[in-house]
Structure 1
């Protein structure tokens, strides 16, 4: 009985304290142990994302051709930037931005992109990892099918690596300049045709990527998502990366915590095949991490939930 009460209390308070949206706990990464309770139908699935991509296990697939992009060079297609309380999201005009090819089942409309990060450039927070390496940030472009031939979402994931320059690239300097306008959850601002999606993806070879079937990385964690994770990262200077974890907050109260560690831990692969144009080669000495939540036994889960609850409450005192 006590364990049931503890679980309910921890889930409720974490749910209320750590999340402005009421649908996801983002105060700490370990809060994700509550996700199967919040979204039981999907977050307990066997094809969850993100995953650790082990290059030695990647299989070659000749069908993974180049993509065709429409409107990715159009600066008017990026319309609004918003603090959602769980991320920073940019709305895209789906009538202007399309993607096809790459063995996707038809044409897809790009609807938004959002970002995941840890706590500054020194504490990485990408969702996917490669051979155990976590990058400082990760960008996700969400795409919906144009026709009714497919009901799958297609997400393009791009790693963000830190560079030692200052204020570079210019497109990211412009993007981060909007953060002071969306400090609190729910804040949003119009974008003024300053940069395009191509500008933000500068330096990324979009012909080289990994492909696997997974899920959304936030509740309800719906599966059936076609994941494309590009091998090349965007290089963004450390000072700009640090702005994300030092400028925006997870709710609109006066004592709101900063928005940090907004990523989900890697999930079990469960026999899924990760594909690419060329099979990977083994990189020795690197870790193959698995999900913290997936490996927690019930006897450990409840104490961690209660400790997390106390941490979150103390953060507000």
Structure 2
């Protein structure tokens, strides 16, 4: 109340001073005194007003303010989280779209499988069926070759009719064996079906076994009929006298692997055959990838002789190029009586 009164008095003094500033009836000393009083009262009122303490917030107001601040911080944090989540979703969608696009391109691109195989190591016979889908029979077939020929059914088998004659030939070292391509016109007839000799090649040791017995080498003579069916004639080799056809082949070996020699001379496949023509027969497969089945096998019972020197020469080129024996899987084996 005192401050209010002083303020009112000051205001009156100021007003009077302002009003009497031009009044000639008021003396200068009076005007000065009034101005001083007014100034003092004004300063006193101003000082009293500025020194008044601010009003304190109640507990309820403090709680409300704290809740408002917390809510603001939560909303700010949620906004940041939503923005981050939206960025992650967008990035994931972009990555998924890129992956789908890449997968579509890969699916459209033709798959290329290896054609590399060998007789040892990772690409050896145990893995042939896994290297290329086209070779699946090498691992899953139930009529695979070679086999150990046991318990043959002795029957009256008709004699094989051989129609071989001296023919042109070429010799290729194909990196897996020595292969001899023979000129056309050489046939065998088995079961009223005629097969033409296409080529013959060598394996060391023999792939076939007879009652568990293996041989040092074997010659496989590949024949085909007009419908593409294969008949494989196997000639087991044992040490003995020199074999003339084999010597002719060795004389014309190419000087480099994967090369072919085409001599001007001829060879007679008939000279490869043993004196006796008894045989075993059964259904099997090719012994190299893709291991296709449905092959008619004819294994001559009497071995053919070749000299130790002839066998040693081949062993220098291919010391091991034979597929291991495969399961018989209950197949029927017929044997000449």
**TM-score, length-normalised on structure 2?**
0.62
Higher relative contact order (CA 8 A, sep 6+): 1
TM-superposed deviation, 1:28:
6.0
* TM-aligned CA deviation for residue 25 of structure 1: 1.1
Q: 1:78 to 1:159 in 2, by over 3 A?
A: farther
Q: What is the correspondence of 1:264-275 to structure 2 with a 5 Å cutoff?
A: 264-275=323-334
Match of 1:73 among 156, 159, 165: 165
Aligned to 2:276: 205
Give 1:132's match in structure 2, choosing from 212, 223, 227: 212
Larger Rg: 2
Mean CA deviation greater in 22-31 or 40-49: 22-31
For residue 99 of structure 1, report the CA deviation from its aligned partner: 1.0
- Do structure 1's residue 184 and structure 2's residue 256 form an aligned pair? yes
Whether 2:137 is the aligned partner of 1:42: answer yes
Using the size of structure 1 for normalisation, the TM-score is 0.65
CA distance 1:67–1:52, change in 2 (3 Å): same
| Structure 1 unaligned spans of 5+ | 1-14, 17-21, 118-124, 249-258, 279-317
Q: Quote how far apart the aligned CAs of 1:185 are.
A: 2.3
Q: Give yes or no for contact 1:47–1:269 (8 Å, CA) kept in 2.
A: yes
Is the 2:169–2:266 contact (alpha carbons within 8 Å) kept by the matching residues of 1? no
1:153 to 204, 212, 230: 230
Q: Distance in 1 between matches of 2:281 and 2:189?
A: 14
SS in 2 for 1:133: coil
Flag structure 2 segments of 5+ consecutive residues without an equivalent. 1-112
Change (3 A) 1:191 1:204: farther
Match of 1:114 among 201, 206, 210: 201
CA distance in 1, matches of 2:275, 2:146: 20
CA distance in 2 between partners of 1:138 and 1:276 (Å): 19
Q: Could you give the per-residue CA deviations for residues 140-191 of structure 1, whole angstroms, max 9, x where no partner exists?
A: 1111113x4xx4211101101012x5xx133332322223xx2432111113
The structure 2 residue matched to 1:97, chosen from 186, 198, 222, is 186
Determine which of 148, 162, 166 is the counterpart of 1:52. Answer: 148
CA 1:29–1:191: 2 relative to 1, 3 Å? farther
**Structure 1 runs of 4+ off > 6 angstroms?**
none
Task: Give the match's secondary structure for 1:261.
Answer: coil
CA separation in 2, counterparts of 1:195 and 1:126? 23
Counterpart in 2 of 1:218?
288
